[in-house]
Amino acid sequence: MLDRLTDQPADKILKLMQSYKEDPRDDKLDLGVGVYKDENGNTPVMRAVKKAERRILEDQTTKAYVGLAGDPDYARTMRELVLADSVAADRVAAIATPGGTGAFRQGVDLVRLANPDATFHVSAPTWPNHVSILKTTGTPFTEYRYFDAATGEVDVDGMMADLEKVAEGDVVLLHGCCHNPTGANLTGEQWSGVAELLRERGALPFVDIAYQGFGDGLDEDAAGTRILAETQPEMLIGASCSKNFGIYRERTGILFAIGDAANTKTTQGNMNHLNRQNYSFPPDHGARVVSTILDDPELRADWQAELEEMRTTMLSLRQQLADELRQRTNSDTFDFVARHRGMFSRLGIDADKVEQMRRDHRVYMVSDSRINVAGLNEATVPQLAEAIAKTCA
């Protein structure tokens, strides 16, 4: 049987990581992999995470399974972090998942249980794994316009025109903040317009929020998600703790389903069922770290302070890169980099020039010109700006 298998296409980012590792040149620059790096190129364990893990190590008395949905304290603290008071708690069902990827996959399967005929509408572009999971599960999907490569901003008119065509019962996938891969975000007013349109169309919003706190702040980054929660009869939210808690390898995510309170018990039962069929019980260590931090005022304050340091560092690097590029190109072509938010920006450079930068300047970025801003530091920003200016002259 196994001899019937054929090779799967290589993941672009994983392939890029391997090429970077194999490159013997000094001063090579990795802007592909989506992890936060400090000024020394390391991905640190956050202070509050270390403290929480020490506390858990000392206090934990068992490694027995948690429930199918995961630890209730984790669900509660994450609901409060993402949704605040935008929706009544009795309208929210939740399951812990292995990362934000697991949350998206479980959300797709929940939709397929509820409405097998639903089509997913995803932004053009979106995170590649969204499309990969939809294809793997045989879920129909289509794209809506989102990013204007010429301006580096959201194509709001195109987006709204495409969403006008969404059928009742379809699912619209939205990035809660810090859009991956573009870095271009909706404004509060635009979120309200999307919310009104989706409600009129009878569509189900599915928000993927993986970078809360990396853009404009914890509450600011959740504002669009909360607008939807306040206005929609139903919605799904997949959240990740990988980035804002720096616990990538712990695979800590959560799926929320918001609906009528009368249906919450049935919805919760279906979500528990999906966890049971997929991996029985969700992992707990990362979830326990998160709830420990969020429930302790001192740990939470320290976590928020370090998260704010990371956020402002990325904003500073964005501004530095935009300034360096303006100076070297004598144009405002790349000013949008400073207006983008989160870890990523798409530069609008074609694949041939991206390859040329890798070959001639030791700069590694995804072929669609997505860069991880958090992979830079003050010393390497000029290197990237010089590579872009020389390649795109």
- Give the rounded distance of the alpha carbon of 233 from its chain centre: 24
Using alpha carbons, list the distances in angstroms from residue 235 to 77, 170, 265.
19, 11, 16
Over 90: is that where the pLDDT of 283 sits? yes
- Does residue 254 contact residue 75 with C-beta atoms inside 8 Å? yes
Quick check: is 210 catalytic?
Answer: yes
Q: Note the pTM of the prediction, 2 decimals.
A: 0.96
Q: Which of 210, 239, 385, 387 is catalytic?
A: 210
Identify the band that residue 228 occupies on the pLDDT scale cut at 50, 70 and 90.
Answer: very high
Beta bridge partners of 372: 344
Token pair listed for 275: 């966890």
Quick check: is 63 catalytic?
Answer: no
Quick check: is 265 catalytic?
Answer: no
| DSSP per-residue letters across 39-68 | TTS--PPPHHHHHHHHHHHHH--------T
For residue 330, the model assigns a pLDDT of 94
**Least confident segment among 32-36, 140-144, 233-237:** 32-36
Label residues 120-138 b or e (16+ Cβ within 10 Å = b).
Answer: bbbbbbbbebbeebbeeee
- Does residue 343 contact residue 34 with C-beta atoms inside 8 Å? yes
Q: Which residues contact 252 (CB under 8 A, 6 or more apart)?
A: 96, 99, 240, 241, 242, 245, 283, 286, 287, 289, 290
| Percentage of the chain lying above the pLDDT 70 cut | 100
Mean per-residue pLDDT over the chain, rounded = 96
Over 90: is that where the pLDDT of 131 sits? yes
- Helix, strand or coil for residue 229? helix
Identify the band that residue 30 occupies on the pLDDT scale cut at 50, 70 and 90.
Answer: very high
- Average pLDDT on 143-168 reads 97
Q: Where are the alpha helices (DSSP H) in 330-380?
A: 336-339, 351-361
Angle at alpha carbon of residue 178, lines to 386 and 302, rounded to 5°: 100
Q: Which of 243, 303, 368, 385 is catalytic?
A: 243
Identify the band that residue 12 occupies on the pLDDT scale cut at 50, 70 and 90.
Answer: confident
For residue 11, the model assigns a pLDDT of 81
For residue 13, the model assigns a pLDDT of 82
| DSSP per-residue letters across 246-286 | --GGG-EEEEEEE--GGGHHHHHHHHHHHHHHHHSS---HH
Q: Which of 37, 51, 109, 127 is catalytic?
A: 127
Q: Look-up: residue for tokens 């603290």?
A: 77
Identify the band that residue 15 occupies on the pLDDT scale cut at 50, 70 and 90.
Answer: confident
For residue 9, the model assigns a pLDDT of 83
Quick check: is 21 catalytic?
Answer: no
- Helix, strand or coil for residue 132? helix
